[in-house]
Amino acid sequence: MARRLAASLEAAEQAKCRVKGPALTICIDLTQQTAWAVRDGAVVWGPTVVRTGMRGGYQTPTGTYEIFRRAKREWSVPYKVWLPYWQAFNGGIGFHETTTYIHDGSLGSHGCVNLLHADAVALWSTAGVGTTVKVFGNRPGT
């Protein structure tokens, strides 16, 4: 985990997010399974570990998106669970807290970016509707 976080702070890794300008951008590195936020070229949140979509058609899609909906507590109809600190950025895919063990590489989400409680709260305080989200890389095993 420490190696993944350290790698996310390297200039070459940061450049993969291709952030330009003063707007807040959240970067999701599927390869490292990390996330961070950048404003004016400086990291303002993270990096932190995340869990993203698993194989079997649940991969988190790469691309550039915007947060378009937020709810402190959202109900997932298909999975019948609460999604604390929900921030949607691509259809039914978004950021949310998970209460399950996040560090097991064999587990994954159904496409969402799962965060530990403190990270979900911090991201909620940092981001908002309209925040750019850049997802890049490839989750190992997917």
Domains in the chain: boundaries: 2-136
Distance, in Å, from the CA atom of 46 to the CA atom of 8, rounded to the nearest integer, reads: 9
3-class secondary-structure state, position 135:
strand
Instruction: Label residue 56 left, alpha or beta by phi (over 0 means left) and psi (-120 to 50 means alpha).
Output: left
Confidence at residue 142, expressed as pLDDT on a 0 to 100 scale: 65
Q: How confident is the model at residue 106 (pLDDT cuts 50, 70, 90)?
A: low
Q: Do 96 and 112 meet the contact criterion of CB atoms below 8 Å apart?
A: yes
Encode pLDDT of 22-48 as tens digits: 899 999 999 999 999 999 888 999 899
Q: Mention the CATH class of domain 2-136.
A: mainly beta
Nearest to 136 by CA among 51, 61, 36: 61
Q: How confident is the model at residue 12 (pLDDT cuts 50, 70, 90)?
A: confident
Nearest to 54 by CA among 32, 74, 30, 35: 30
Tell me the mean pLDDT in the region 127-131. Answer: 97
Q: How confident is the model at residue 104 (pLDDT cuts 50, 70, 90)?
A: low
Model confidence at 140: pLDDT above 80: no
Distance, in Å, from the CA atom of 17 to the CA atom of 25, rounded to the nearest integer, reads: 9
Q: How confident is the model at residue 113 (pLDDT cuts 50, 70, 90)?
A: very high
Q: Do 129 and 69 meet the contact criterion of CB atoms below 8 Å apart?
A: yes
Give the number of C-alpha atoms closer than 13 A to the C-alpha of residue 44, restricted to the C-beta side. 16
Q: Which of 17, 96, 103, 117 is catalytic?
A: 96
Work out the percent of the chain whose per-residue pLDDT is above 70.
Answer: 95
Q: Which of 17, 27, 103, 112 is catalytic?
A: 112
Model confidence at 81: pLDDT above 70: yes
Token pair 């890389």: residue: 137
Model confidence at 85: pLDDT above 70: yes
Token readout for 16 is 């993969």
Tell me the mean pLDDT in the region 110-131. Answer: 96
Confidence at residue 103, expressed as pLDDT on a 0 to 100 scale: 67
Q: Is 112 a catalytic residue?
A: yes
